[in-house]
Amino acid sequence: MIKVKSIFIMCALLATTTAYATDSKPIKLWYNRPAEKWDAEALPIGNGRMGAMLFGGIKTEHIQFNEQSLWSGDNNWDGEYETGDHGFGSYRNFGEFIIDFDHVDVATQYERSLNITTGIHTTSFKIDGVRFFREAFASHPDQMIVFKYTASQKAALSGSISMTSAQGAISVTNKNGISFAGEMPNKLKYAAKLNFEHEGGEVSVEGDRLVFKNCNTLIIYLDARTNYKPDYNAGWRGADPMPIIEKEVRNAQQLGFQQLKTRHINDITRLTAAATIDIGKTAADISAMPTDVRLKKYAAGGKDPDLEETMFQYGRYLLVSSSRPGGLPANLQGLWNNSDTPAWASDYHNNINIQMNYWAAESTNLSECHIPLIDFIVAAEEPCRIATRKAFGEKTRGWTARTSQSIFGGNGWEWNIPASAWYAHHVFEHWAFTNDTVYLKRTAYPILKEICQYWEDRLKQMPDGTLMVPNGWSPEHGPREDGVMHDQQLVWDLFQNYLDASAALNIDRDYQVKVATMQAHLAPNKIGKWGQLQEWQEDRDDPDDQHRHTSHLFAVYPGRQINMIKTPELAKAAIISLRSRSGNYGKNINTPFTVESTVGDSRRSWTWPWRCALWARLGEGEKAGMMIRGLLTYNTLSNLFTNHPPFQMDGNFGISGAMAEMLLQSQNDEIQLLPAIPQSWAAEGAFYGLKARGGFTVNCKWLNGKVISYQIYSENPVKVKLRVNGQVKEIVSSRFK
């Protein structure tokens, strides 16, 4: 596994950020009624590997759960997008357990909530004067989901528990709990175990149900696993899951609920509280409302900066909950899925979606949560090499991937030929933000060099000496042809990342020259006849095109080839292209740019965050702010899950990264404070714990749109170029205390 040098940096800042986070009101989602719809209303908890969706029912408590490695499909699949038991496969629902209580289904003083700092889900209500209280959390340190049920009156808890496998395994019940184990058609073994403790009352078994009567307290420990192993050479299979589950459950029960809860809170807040933002104050009467009511008022045009802050922290919470070292990366739905036929297989889509999942990882101080993506890239290399040679010739060096990828080295649907170059961007960014040279040497550099070799062999030299990516595609827009700008930009980015990495390690001088020469000869970006940044070599862009993808703007964000400081003319052309995609050019050139005018295909869960980040990089704070409002208004469900539609989590992850870009940027060999804040944030605010490339952690306060104080920390004091309040100066960073 990759060791993250920057973990200690986050810990060093924890005292500051935790104090800040806990001095203010808890950041939580809350509702005054139970959930009915899984995707729109239930609330998620997760420990990085395993997750659950909670409904908070009064008489019937319904809990659906997942484990991120329960996939159908065949090993090393290469071809059509077949999402059944075989072929490419899909991510699957693990199961559910249901508690049917004997009390009535009508209650008063109902509240269910999810604290997204502590990861604690609670439900409380009163029936006939008795208060019922439930707590649930997914523990990463102890690899367990834990539930506790209490009441203000003794002997008030009676009912039954059942647990069902979504894959057909038969449940076995005894007085201690319920378990099931089975094997998928692809020979993946799976198992789950629910252990039950009670105080007072009595327990019996009736068929497959566990019946409890007159109990004071119930505690449930849930664990689920497969025998998946992220290793091509091991056939993607490892140890039988049930013995591991039984050991983990025993250990959890020995610790007990309170120790498990304390260990969980200490672990998760180390990450969730590592970065905070304060962009304004919501009126007290609005703050007092349930989250779904606040969302509706905001969508109707209301002001609620605390809701925007919640969206920022929710994306971070979801990443912490679905992507931890040692596990798989977050997929299209994070890790929460109640279907055996989820949209797009709930897979790893590499033409924007999985990348957007990780935009907030480095900049919002969740560097260790980036590791599962990098481990996934490493694990997939060999099957991708085989598939690449099959598609592009046996002598092809390096590798790339089809658009859809599975956890078994599977490649499905269209070839996304520059996919590996985009993956290399993430591999490089982890080093750029952490300065972990051991990681750079052992993990990042070999990946970067091998992918450069793929492009060294593949680039096509034109009669004028320029190099083009052959047979490219501007996802998901237009024909396949040579020199698509999206592909050109990705290869430029790859080469620049390689050059920076090799220079930092001071190795491979000859190959540095080779790569620099190739980069210099790449066919450049072009400005078209109506001032736009061209999407293709031919100047055929339509000024009234409102396609959802902005693929040819990769060079602005998340790339670094085009910016207002070093390439202002190209940046201005990018602005025109972005206006066009937003329905604000061509026939609408003289109409105001508004949230409402961004229509149709441009309203997707992931389009708003990408455009928010693009506007931020282009220094357009007002338009960036509009993109946040657009996401919350048109593509956010009551539980704040983003909706493509259907439900898809890239919007949640992406908006956190985009909001960070509005407050702090570091892609131009300098740190820039408040590069793109909208007027609605300008009056007074602060951020703490955001990260800048070079291993820096940054705190900042502002008043009336001007920075009034800042702190920049690093492992050792170093000189930093800083852009603040319209001035550029050189400062020396402070050492972490």
Kindly give, in sequence order, each residue whose CB lies less than 8 Å from that of residue 349, ignoring residues fewer than 6 positions away.
Answer: 332, 403, 404
Q: What is the DSSP string of 474-510?
A: ETTEEEEETT-HHHHHHHHHHHHHHHHHHHHHT--HH
Nearest by Cα to 37 from 582, 536, 646, 564: 646
* pLDDT score of 737 more than 80: no
Nearest by Cα to 400 from 471, 346, 336: 471
Residue 4 pLDDT:
36
The arithmetic mean of pLDDT across residues 148-162, rounded, is 98
pLDDT digits 0-9 by tens, 305-348 = 999 999 999 999 999 999 999 999 999 999 999 999 999 999 99
Kindly give, in sequence order, each residue whose CB lies less than 8 Å from that of residue 8, ignoring residues fewer than 6 positions away.
Answer: none
3-state secondary structure 264-305: HHHHHHHHHCCCEEECCCCCHHHHCCCHHHHHHHHHCCCCCH
Kindly give, in sequence order, each residue whose CB lies less than 8 Å from that of residue 429, ignoring residues fewer than 6 positions away.
Answer: 362, 370, 693
Beta sheet of 684-692, edge-to-edge order: 276-278, 684-692, 696-703, 706-714, 734-735
* pLDDT score of 20 more than 70: no
Banded model confidence at residue 652, pLDDT cuts 50, 70, 90? very high
Please provide the distance, in angstroms rounded to a whole number, between the alpha carbons at the two ends of the chain: 28
* pLDDT score of 14 more than 50: no
Nearest by Cα to 440 from 502, 524, 492: 502
What does the mean pLDDT of the chain come to? Answer: 95
pLDDT digits 0-9 by tens, 203-239 = 999 999 999 999 999 999 999 999 999 999 999 999 9
Is residue 674 within 8 A of residue 663, CB to CB? The reply is yes
What is this structure's pTM? 0.96
CA distance linking residue 126 with residue 644, whole number of Å: 37
Q: Choose the weakest-confidence range: 17-31, 47-61, 718-732.
A: 17-31
CB atoms closer than 10 angstroms to residue 120? 20
Sign of the torsion angle spanned by Cα atoms 347, 348, 350, 356: positive
Residue 736 pLDDT:
87
Is residue 561 within 8 A of residue 503, CB to CB? The reply is no
Is residue 468 within 8 A of residue 460, CB to CB? The reply is yes
Amino acid at 629: R
CA distance linking residue 694 with residue 690, whole number of Å: 13
Kindly give, in sequence order, each residue whose CB lies less than 8 Å from that of residue 699, ignoring residues fewer than 6 positions away.
Answer: 16, 686, 687, 688, 689, 710, 711
Burial of residue 590, with CB atoms counted within 10 A of its CB: 0-12 exposed, 13-18 middle, 19 or more buried: exposed
Provide the 3-class DSSP secondary structure of residue 146: strand
Kindly give, in sequence order, each residue whose CB lies less than 8 Å from that of residue 56, ignoring residues fewer than 6 positions away.
Answer: 31, 34, 35, 43, 112, 123, 134
Nearest by Cα to 33 from 115, 98, 113: 113
- Give 3-state DSSP helix, strand, coil % of the chain, rounded to 5: 35, 30, 35
CA distance linking residue 359 with residue 538, whole number of Å: 31
pLDDT digits 0-9 by tens, 349-374 = 999 999 999 999 999 999 999 999 99
Both tokens assigned to 346: 């709930």
- Peptide bond between residue 558 and the one before it cis (omega within 30 degrees of 0): yes
Banded model confidence at residue 575, pLDDT cuts 50, 70, 90? very high
Is residue 14 within 8 A of residue 273, CB to CB? The reply is yes
The arithmetic mean of pLDDT across residues 518-543, rounded, is 97
The arithmetic mean of pLDDT across residues 618-629, rounded, is 98
CA distance linking residue 393 with residue 226, whole number of Å: 36
Residue 599 pLDDT:
86
- Peptide bond between residue 678 and the one before it cis (omega within 30 degrees of 0): no
pLDDT digits 0-9 by tens, 431-473 = 999 999 999 999 999 999 999 999 999 999 999 999 999 999 9
Both tokens assigned to 456: 């060294």
Nearest by Cα to 709 from 737, 734, 673: 673
Beta bridge mates, 722: 671, 729
3-state secondary structure 10-78: HHHHHHHHHHHHHHCCCCEEEECCCCCCCCCCCEEEECCCEEEEECCCCCEEEEEEEECCCECCCCCCE
Amino acid at 583: G
CA distance linking residue 575 with residue 573, whole number of Å: 5
* pLDDT score of 18 more than 70: no
CB atoms closer than 10 angstroms to residue 19? 11
CA distance linking residue 202 with residue 215, whole number of Å: 7
* pLDDT score of 180 more than 60: yes
Element (H, E) at 519: helix 509-521
Q: Give the E-state strand segments of 378-471 in sequence order.
A: 401-405, 411-416, 460-461, 467-468
Provide the 3-class DSSP secondary structure of residue 711: strand
The arithmetic mean of pLDDT across residues 278-292, rounded, is 97
The single-letter DSSP state of residue 148 is: E
Provide the 3-class DSSP secondary structure of residue 82: coil
Residue 600 pLDDT:
82
Tell me the CA distances in angstroms from 387 to 374, 400, 469, one per residue in order: 20, 8, 19
The arithmetic mean of pLDDT across residues 249-255, rounded, is 98
3-state secondary structure 354-383: HHHHCHHHHHCCCHHHHHHHHHHHHHHHHH
